[in-house]
Amino acid sequence: MDCHNQEEHSRPQEEEDIMDIPLDDPEANRAAAKIQAGFRGHMTRKKMKPEDKAEGEERQEDRGQ
C-alpha cells in the first residue's frame, strides 16, 4: 500500500505514524477493538435516532451497508 504516493499533501508525519502503529501488539489491538466497539455503538444509535421519531418512515435506504 503506497500511502506516501497517494497524498499530494506533504504529510510526512503520517509515514512515521504508520511505522509507529503497533500492528502486532495484542494489547493495542484489544484497546483498538474496544474503542471501535464503542464507536460502532455510537454510530448505530446516531443512525437510529431520526428513525426512532419517524418510526421507520425514513427506512428508504437499506441499512445493509
- C-alpha span between 12 and 44 (Å, rounded): 34
Are residues 3 and 14 in contact, defined by beta-carbon separation less than 8 angstroms?
A: yes
- Tell me if 50 contacts another protein by CB under 8 A: no
CB of 6 to another protein, least distance (A): 12
Which single residue is written with the C-alpha cell 509515514? 15
- Which residues, 4 to 33, sit near another protein by CB under 8 A? 11, 13-14, 17-18, 21-23, 28-33
How many C-beta neighbours within 10 Å does residue 51 have?
13
Which residues of the shown chain bind another protein in the complex (CB under 8 A)?
Answer: 11, 13-14, 17-18, 21-23, 28-46, 48-49, 51, 56, 63, 65
